[in-house]
Amino acid sequence: MEIGVMVQFNPIPVEVNQVIYKKKTRGHFISFLYECFLSEKIVIHNHGLRQTDNGYLRWHTVWPMNIIGVHKKIYKKYFV
């Protein structure tokens, strides 16, 4: 409900991965990928937040620049 609308989802994960990644921060991940659907069309309202602020929402048409490389590699098959 964080984005203001209900999200429908399949409760069975599409994929579950454990990744150990040698890095100073965020080096161990357990990722659950779920298939989700928006129940209605939404318009994003950031209410004065800047793009660099925590909580700023946006749609991506390509991979975000700050995506963790290992996530891009393992989940690429699910995104075009």
Model pTM above 0.75: no
Q: What are phi and psi of 11, to 5 degrees?
A: -70, -10
Overall residue count recorded for the chain in this entry: 80
The pLDDT assigned to 12 comes to 96
* Distances in whole angstroms, Cα of residue 62 to Cα of each of 10, 20, 45, 80: 24, 25, 21, 8
Question: What distance in Å separates the CA atoms of residue 21 and residue 27, rounded to the nearest whole number?
Answer: 5
Cβ proximity of 36 and 5 under 8 Å: no
Q: What would you measure as the largest C-alpha separation in the chain, in angstroms? A: 40
20-77: pLDDT as tens digits: 877 666 677 788 989 888 877 777 888 899 988 988 888 777 777 877 777 888 888 8
